[in-house]
Structure 1
Amino acid sequence: MKIRKIVRKASCLLLVLLMLSGCLPATPAELSPGELGNGWQVQSSMDLQYAQNFSVDYYPGDYTLLSISDGSRFLIVPEEGTVPAGIDEDIVILTRPIEDIYLVATSAMCLFDALDALSSIRLSGLQAKDWYISTARKAMEAGDILYAGKYNAPDYELIMSHGASLAIESTMINHAPEVKEKLQEVGIPVLIDQSSYETHPLGRTEWIKLYGALVGKEEVACRLFEEQAAYLQALAGEENTGKTVAFFYISSSGYAVARKSGDYITKMIELAGGNYIFENLGDPQKATSTVPLEMEQFYATAKDADFIIYNSTVGGELSSLEELIGKNELLRDFKAVQNGNVWCVEKNLFQETTQLGLMISDIHRMLTENDASLNKLNFMYRLQ
């Protein structure tokens, strides 16, 4: 294994020298059965409850095929195994152990963390200060994970010198296709995380199973996913509360930036027993998840919301209702402000894909527990 890794890194260093000397999101496709093209038969397939944008198939001899809805396929070869002959040319080969990953898809970091697999990641697309996942931040501060540039400006020399075996990108890479092409050109496979295309919130969480298969920790991944699914199952018999919720933040230019109707955040509100205050906000054909509204336009609908969830992941957390009102005096007239039903999400929400079931439970408690002393939940706190 050490010899193989030395050879791989030496090859990458050579490519660095050669390079220095010379040098909109796709619609998810229908996943095809796990066929390799060489006649091998699938032994078993991973059971998925909500995720629709990947599949995992197992073959005799501990070979695993990952299929992604963008059409990409990755065959994981066991450490002492050989690449099977006659497989389809488009299948990318990954040989265990899969190490020195360049992780750019921020939503996946918490999944690796939950799997106790941060040691598989060597390079990050975020700097240490931008991680709210404490273990990831500490790993970067200790030098165990290095910053290698964001999705559209990677440090190719650094990535290659560390012998990256895989780059995991978010769908943002579709806006910089030349980066994907360059990574592939220098021999680094690119897996684009499609979890943002999942129609069900827990479909995003279920991507932990794909990464569990990648690092050989499927049992742990299934257990962690079932823990989150249990929160939703506990609400299965609950009736809709009839309560309305506005989810937004005020931008530096004074716009109210609300979630688009049908977005996974609004679906979490619905699964928790609430109703998003906007019924048909935004263009469903566009990939953007938020809609900026002039304050008067926002006020016309959102002022009657029973609850406000303020998105503090943009612009920083708030400490009081007066601080919120300071962003726009019109907010003082909002029903939720007058009734003290304003909650603020903490900064770690969008980096905690593993906990979406718990977040749904938080929203349900907010909607149903008529307790003035309830001021803190797992991902939200009440503004006073």
Structure 2
Amino acid sequence: MFKSKHLIAIIAAVLACLTSCVGGSTADSVEGAEVIGMKYARLLTLQEGEGFVLAEIKNPWDTTKILHRYLLVPKGHEKELPEHLPTGDIVSIPLTHSVFSGSVHVSLIDKLGAYKSVCGVCDLNFMNLPKVHKDAAKGIIKDCGSSLSPNIEKIIDTAPDAILLSPYEDSGSYGKLGKLGIPLIECADYMETHPLGGAEWMRFYGMLFGKQTEADSLFAEIEKDYNQLKGLVKGKKRPTVVTEKKYGSAWYVAGGNSTVGQMLADAGADYIFKGETASGALPYSPEVVFDKAQQAQIWLIKYNQAEAMSYPLLAKEWTNYARMSAFKNKNIYTCDLGKTMYYEETPFQPNLLLRDYIKIFHPEVLKDYSMRYYKCLE
């Protein structure tokens, strides 16, 4: 992973100057470093230098700026670094005792074979990971409270070597959490727009946890499967599709350039909001979406509630639902988030979700496949 075993010793004072470059507007170019190619990710760049890897994350909300820079250095070699290093937070790798703010990265690290590195989690109650709940009950994994307001004392007691969290716009320095002197790994993978873009970040996480070979291999498998599936529906007639339903006074729809929008296109669907160029979710009035979606052939809904979704329940929730073609033709497909691993698996394994989509839109292509997340509403 690292180019040279013969590293130049530098004094601790130089190390102290290596601070994070949050909010910077220019990318550091490392002389003699080799760029590690990323095919789909647009927010993450990796450069392999002499005794370190520079990981640079663009600000998703202003890509002319840098969200964070990290220098990944093998443990025990932190003082043996070349001179004239780029700025960045030093992260001693492999990480072996880390806190995670969400289930998706715990699930990934488990799949890569580094589950024992998980020492604490936030939002435990929202994690659909039985193994984590079992270890939390035993005290092996610490419950560090809410990701929005973590238990600082519990995190200090846990003494992690890093905290993995999802950044949000204008998150700044994370208050007390940012003052603990613990590396904060800002997991902006969820802001990538290509379905394989976020998944490709597993190569970075593999480096962090000493599972680079496993991560590279897994991503190659996912990429191959995704593109092969995409090819199965090339040239086929595309059914029109609408997603989700209203919540309160708004109906949130994914933009055409979002991960969902692109995946629907890759699955051979004609997404009714494909013309919206946004890369995130857009709030519309329910009436506007209804007018546009009334004739859509297929309707996809994700939900998380105690009562199972049903046609009578939908009609009771909003009478206009019963006027939609997908409702009348019994062509609604639902994903129960409380009973599936949708959020734990699909961000880093989009091929699994793509397979479900293709089964829904073009069932003749995958005749013997049973869906993993969605089911036809009865």
* Smaller-chain TM-score bracket: 0.7 to 0.9
Identity of aligned residues (%): 20
CA contact (8 A) 1:107 1:350 kept: yes
Once the two structures are superposed, residues 283-317 of structure 1 have per-residue CA deviations (whole angstroms, 9 ceiling, x without a partner) of: 83xx85242422x322211111111100214x457
Letter in 1 for 2:115: L
- Counterpart CA distance in 2 for 1:184 and 1:254 is 36
TM-score normalised to structure 1 length? 0.79
Unaligned residue ranges in structure 1 (runs of 5+): 1-25
Shift of 1:195: 1.2
Correspondence for 1:275: 270
Matched, 1:332 2:322: yes
Q: Residue 244 of structure 2 aligns to a residue in which SS?
A: strand
Contact preservation (8 Å) 2:123, 2:147: no
Shift of 1:270: 0.6
Is 1:53 the counterpart of 2:61? The answer is no
TM-score scaled by structure 2? Answer: 0.81
Q: Would the aligned equivalents of 1:100 and 1:121 in 2 still touch at CA under 8 Å?
A: yes
What letter matches 2:255 in structure 1?
Answer: K
CA distance change for structure 1 residues 265 and 30 in 2, over 3 Å: closer, same or farther? farther
Q: One-letter code of the match for 1:262?
A: N
CA drift at 1:209: 0.8
Does 1:301 pair with 2:301? no
Q: 1:369 to 1:288 in 2, by over 3 A?
A: closer
Contact kept, 8 Å, 1:231 with 1:361, in 2: the verdict is: no
SS in structure 1 of the partner of residue 349 of structure 2: helix
Q: Residues 167-223 of structure 1: CA distance to partner in whole angstroms, max 9, x if unpaired? A: 222123x45435x24333221122211112212011111111110011111111122
Match of 2:9 in 1: none
Instruction: Give the Å deviation of 1:50.
Output: 0.8
**How many Å separate the matches in 2 of 1:230 and 1:316?**
37
**1:265 correspondence with 2:260:** yes
How far 1:321 sits from its partner (Å)?
A: 2.5
Residues 1:113 and 2:103 are matched in the alignment: no
Whether contact under 8 Å (1:317, 1:346) holds in the other structure is no
Secondary structure at the aligned position of 1:226 is classed as: helix
The verdict on how the C-alpha distance between 1:317 and 1:270 changes in structure 2, with shifts beyond 3 A counting, is farther
**Contact 1:167 1:189 (8 Å CA) reproduced:** yes
Distance 1:275 1:48, change over 3 A: same
The answer for unaligned runs of 5 or more in structure 2 is 1-21, 60-65
Counting only pairs closer than 5 Å after superposition, residues 340-379 of structure 1 correspond to structure 2 as 340-347=330-337, 348-352=341-345, 353-369=347-363, 376-379=370-373
Q: Given the superposition, is the C-alpha separation of residues 275 and 89 from structure 1 closer, same or farther in structure 2, using an over 3 Å criterion?
A: same
Q: Deviations over 1:119-141 (max 9, x none)?
A: 222121212x3112333333333
Q: Whole-Å Cα distance in 1 between the matches of residues 162 and 78 of structure 2?
A: 19
Is the alpha carbon distance of 1:137 and 1:260 closer, same or farther for their aligned partners in structure 2, counting shifts above 3 Å? Answer: farther
Count of aligned positions = 342
Deviation of the 1:32 alpha carbon? 4.7
What is the alpha-carbon distance in structure 1 between the residues aligned to residue 40 and residue 349 of structure 2? 15
1:220 correspondence with 2:214: yes
- The 5 A counterparts of 1:26-37 are 32-33=28-29, 35=30
- The verdict on how the C-alpha distance between 1:341 and 1:27 changes in structure 2, with shifts beyond 3 A counting, is farther
Report if aligned partners of 1:31, 1:53 keep a CA contact under 8 Å in 2. Answer: no
Distance 1:27 1:293 in 2: 35
Q: Secondary structure at the match of 2:371?
A: coil
Please name the residue that 2:281 is paired with.
289
Cα RMSD between the aligned structures?
2.9
CA contact (8 A) 2:94 2:208 kept: no
- Report the Cα offset of residue 244 of structure 1: 1.1
Structure 2 vs 1, CA of residues 309 and 67 (structure 1 numbering), >3 Å: closer, same or farther?
same
Provide the C-alpha distance between the structure 2 equivalents of 1:274 and 1:49, rounded to a whole number of angstroms: 24
| Equivalent in the alignment of 2:179 | 185
Answer yes or no: is 1:69 the counterpart of 2:58.
yes
